[in-house]
Amino acid sequence: MLTFITPVISKEISDNWSVVRANLRKTLESVKNQTNSNWRVLIVSQTRPDVEYIEDKIIYVHADFKPAKKYPKNIERSAVKRAVCRRANDLDRIRKIRVAAATLHEYRSDFVMLLEADDLVSNRLCEFVMENKEANGWSIPKGYIWDGRSGYLLKTNRLTALSGSSWVVKVFYEMLPKDMPIDVDPSTLSLVSSGCPFLDNGHRKMRDGMAQAGKPMQMLPFRGVIYHWGHGANLSAQQFNEDHLLPFIRNIRRWQSNLFFDLKYLRKRVYLTESLKSEFAIKK
């Protein structure tokens, strides 16, 4: 069994709850599109999204703690205040992952993947994972970037730097605590360690963290995820205004607005073919 853990922003702090739900439905369609049906989704949030729940397949897990503080969009704030805002959102998301992970003792699973509530997953993923159960897991550096509107994707080999939806790991139950710590250490503003490598390492450090735990990961041999950005409802939209977008996002925006594409982006651009639409369950 491959279990997808999908944390969802609370309605209380969402700027556009209808967009959140619409994106989540598209994410779930890509999961239901898997060629191997041995999967499950755990949706975790303070607010139960209005989507189709399927017994033993798509399950809601309640996050019984207050959501991160809501900050006004595009507010003028110092670098320190922006960092505090981002850290609060990060902690909220990681707490949700831990709450869902604790239920894996009940919903037994061989592997687990973080799947953000707006990204799309290849329909080949579950089948590949189930055919390679001897592995400790996979890092997913290769994927696509899409704004959800254009007729093309941008290939990336840096998905692990862009998206949390960039790893699959085997569940080592001896390392997974049943009483999951979600407390924050006030001195460091970080979560108390769980002792479980896939919970204590973010997507940028997952591969190194698993290796240090003696569970080295492999590289997924195909582009397994579409990173969906630019819709205004993901956490990154809560964290940065236009002036503080990360460099790679600014580059993508310049790329999309330029009629004469730079050659390096032309090489990365892939048209959204019927084959890709089928693979990622895109209805367009």
pLDDT in tens, the chain (284 residues): 999 999 999 999 888 999 999 999 999 999 999 999 999 999 999 999 999 999 999 999 999 998 887 765 555 556 666 666 777 788 899 999 999 999 999 999 999 999 999 999 999 999 999 999 999 999 999 999 998 888 999 999 999 999 999 999 999 999 999 888 888 776 666 788 888 988 988 888 999 999 999 999 999 999 999 999 876 565 544 443 334 445 565 566 555 555 444 555 667 789 999 999 999 999 87
Return the DSSP state at 68: P
At residue 120, the pLDDT reads 98
Instruction: For 248, list phi and psi in degrees, rounded to 5.
Output: -70, -30
The number of C-alpha atoms within 13 Å of 181 and in the hemisphere containing its C-beta is: 12
Cross-strand partners of 120: 226
Q: Are 51 and 36 in contact (CB under 8 A)?
A: no
How are beta strands 111-114 and 120-121 bridged, if at all?
unpaired
Q: How do the domains of the chain map onto residue ranges?
A: 2-280
Return the DSSP state at 135: S
Question: 159 in helix, strand or coil?
Answer: helix
Dig out the tokens for 203 from the structure: 């997507």
Instruction: For 234, list phi and psi in degrees, rounded to 5.
Output: -85, 170
Q: Are 73 and 15 in contact (CB under 8 A)?
A: yes
What element of type H or E holds 190? strand 190-191
2-280 topology per CATH: Spore Coat Polysaccharide Biosynthesis Protein SpsA; Chain A (3.90.550)
At residue 241, the pLDDT reads 39
At residue 68, the pLDDT reads 81
